[in-house]
Chains A and B, each alone.
Chain A
Amino acid sequence: MQIDEIQMRLLEEVADLHGVPEGAYNIRANGEKAARNTTANIDIISKTDVSGIDIHIKPGTKNESVHIPVVISESGLKEMVYNDFFVGDDCDVVIVAGCGIDNCGEQDSQHDGIHRFFVGKNSKVKYVEKHYGSGDGNGKRLLNPGTEVHLDEGSYMEMEMVQIRGVDSTERRTTAEVGPGATLIVRERLLTHGSQYAYSFYDVKLNGNDSKADVVSRSVAQDTSKQVFDAGLVGNAPCSGHTECDAIIMGDAKIVAIPKLEANDLDAALIHEAAIGKIAGEQIIKLMTLGLTEQQAEEKIIEGFLK
């Protein structure tokens, strides 16, 4: 299957790809496999019972990457995809996912992706997931990612999830089980505008001794969009956990931050921070004294905030 121009542009947006990536990859376009490459250490196998792939990363694999972007340019296409990542012990890898939808038609386009990660002992995974929507049709662009993370002893996973404009509705559900000495870091960046809706749900269970989690969301809600940040941490062992929602509200937008901390161990140290507010007037004025217009100042502040 050929990748067309629109799909190439979407690939650039979600995976910074300007051509065929290095290392292992699986590119899915309009519901079909468009390209795949495996390496000596990373194997990608299509599932037979449902739509999706299994990614197997051999123990000890270091400095390798896997790209698994999804692009949809066909209006009305709806799909549900299951991708499972099996990362062996002592690995150090980068996984780049992401979904771009261009919808110029009248019907809604939707991609629901369920990613499961099984990260082996002492492995390090950097996971980047970008969402992007474009197209001027009336059909909506809908993305509902589900992420399930299992971190084995001493492992480390950093998840960067980015959705800046373009997606009409998204429900992100992330659950994690963090083992002894393991660490989960989540950095979410979100900008909604128009009448978009974004819901982020986290349920992170700190099950192992000295497990750690740090879930931070920075978001901007413009126009009449609505965001809900629903972050739950459960400390089942001596552990430390932190969740943070830092949001800028603009226009007639609405933002809800729901903290939930559950400590089931005396030595569980859990913190939730939430701050929602408009752009501080003095920030705009400061940048105006440097020669920017009010609008340019706002854009600069948001750009920095979501960097």
Chain B
Amino acid sequence: MIELKNLCFSVLEDGETKEIIKDMNLTIGDDRFVVITGPNGSGKSTLAKLIAGIEKPTSGQILFNGQDITEASVTERAKMGISYAFQQPVRFKGIQVKDLLKIAAGKFLGREQMYEYLSLCGLCAKDYIDREVNASLSGGELKRIEIATLLARNTAFSLFDEPEAGIDLWSFKNLIHVFEILREQTQGSVMIISHQERIMQIADDIVVINAGKITMHGPKEAVLPLLLGTRPEEGCDNICQGGAECR
């Protein structure tokens, strides 16, 4: 379970303090599938980096399974069970796909297991396993490899920043299947930053962020129709629309 308590993050820009995340409170329980959405520049990716430990909050707390991890390093959080798939995956000269999967697994990983992870992500495993994770790979291929590393990580909390970007040829059905497998395999929670309705469709909850604040948080059945301008399903009245109680 991830808990954000009064989380704030600001940066100095041209001598002025700019607030990116404003007093955010959010709880993502175990075995929940949550989609974070909102306009560009609303603070979604920053939120992901704060959870992964890449950025440190200006104030507030982050708790993971009840433990305060606000001061924990990226490595410590990774070892505790937080995984993070980058929006723009990193390229490495000389490091092969199989190396990355082994590092991600943190233990011996058989070739068959690697094949399975890559195939699930829509990659012809035998063509990719020995490839270098370098500039010869397209953005879409890198994205799939990034998702495969999270399958190999197999942790209690998996965080994806726009996983659908650049993978046009790969059907959403497959992508969604990967998330389902991940959830089943880890029995943990999955948090996805996305603008895609089809990904929101498979969420338990949807969180809408705007200008660094949560403006909506509730079950998909309640939030999605509001986002799409349609009527919420009947009985869906448990939706928060901003405010301190929106967590």
Indicate if B86 sits at the interface (CB-CB under 8 A): yes
Q: Given A285-B54, A286-B86 in contact, is the A291-B103 Cβ separation under 8 Å?
A: yes
Indicate if B26 sits at the interface (CB-CB under 8 A): no
Indicate if A289 sits at the interface (CB-CB under 8 A): yes
Please, which residues of chain B bring their CB within 8 A of the CB of A223?
none
Please, which residues of chain A bring their CB within 8 A of the CB of B95?
300-301, 304
> How many chain-A residues does the 8 Å CB contact rule pick out?
22
State the CA gap A282–B92 with chains docked (Å): 10
CB-CB contacts of B77-113 with A at 8 A, as 1s and 0s? 0110001101001101111100110011010000000
State the CA gap A304–B79 with chains docked (Å): 23
Please, which residues of chain A bring their CB within 8 A of the CB of B83?
289
The reply to whether B75 and A300 form a contact with Cβ atoms under 8 Å apart is no
The reply to whether A289 and B106 form a contact with Cβ atoms under 8 Å apart is no
| A118 CB, min distance to chain B CBs, angstroms | 34
Please, which residues of chain A bring their CB within 8 A of the CB of B75?
288, 291-294
**Secondary structure at chain B's binding surface: helix, strand, loop or mixed?**
mixed
Indicate if A210 sits at the interface (CB-CB under 8 A): no
Please, which residues of chain B bring their CB within 8 A of the CB of A288?
73-75, 78
Please, which residues of chain A bring their CB within 8 A of the CB of B93?
218, 246, 304-305
- Near A by CB (< 8 A), chain B positions 93-143 give 93-96, 99-100, 103-104, 106, 132
State the CA gap A306–B100 with chains docked (Å): 16
Indicate if A40 sits at the interface (CB-CB under 8 A): no
Indicate if B149 sits at the interface (CB-CB under 8 A): yes
The reply to whether B79 and A305 form a contact with Cβ atoms under 8 Å apart is no
| B186 CB, min distance to chain A CBs, angstroms | 15
Q: Given A290-B104, A290-B153 in contact, is the A304-B92 Cβ separation under 8 Å?
A: yes
The reply to whether B94 and A283 form a contact with Cβ atoms under 8 Å apart is no
The reply to whether A301 and B92 form a contact with Cβ atoms under 8 Å apart is yes
- Near B by CB (< 8 A), chain A positions 259-307 give 280, 282-283, 285-294, 300-301, 303-307
> How many chain-B residues does the 8 Å CB contact rule pick out?
25
State the CA gap A290–B52 with chains docked (Å): 11
The reply to whether B103 and A285 form a contact with Cβ atoms under 8 Å apart is no
Please, which residues of chain B bring their CB within 8 A of the CB of A300?
95, 99, 103
State the CA gap A232–B182 with chains docked (Å): 53
Q: Which residue of A lies closest to B103 (CB)?
A: A290
Q: Which residue of B lies closest to A306 (CB)?
A: B94
The reply to whether A289 and B52 form a contact with Cβ atoms under 8 Å apart is yes
State the CA gap A163–B51 with chains docked (Å): 42
The reply to whether A307 and B94 form a contact with Cβ atoms under 8 Å apart is yes
Please, which residues of chain B bring their CB within 8 A of the CB of A286?
86, 89-90
- Near B by CB (< 8 A), chain A positions 240-268 give 246
Please, which residues of chain B bring their CB within 8 A of the CB of A293?
75
| B213 CB, min distance to chain A CBs, angstroms | 26
Q: Which residue of A lies closest to B132 (CB)?
A: A304
State the CA gap A303–B96 with chains docked (Å): 11
Q: Which residue of B lies closest to A279 (CB)?
A: B92
12 intermolecular pairs with C-beta atoms under 8 Å apart: A218-B94, A246-B93, A282-B90, A285-B54, A286-B86, A288-B73, A289-B54, A289-B86, A290-B78, A290-B149, A291-B75, A305-B93
Residues of B near any A CB (own CB < 8 A): 52, 54, 73-75, 78-79, 83-84, 86, 89-90, 92-96, 99-100, 103-104, 106, 132, 149, 153
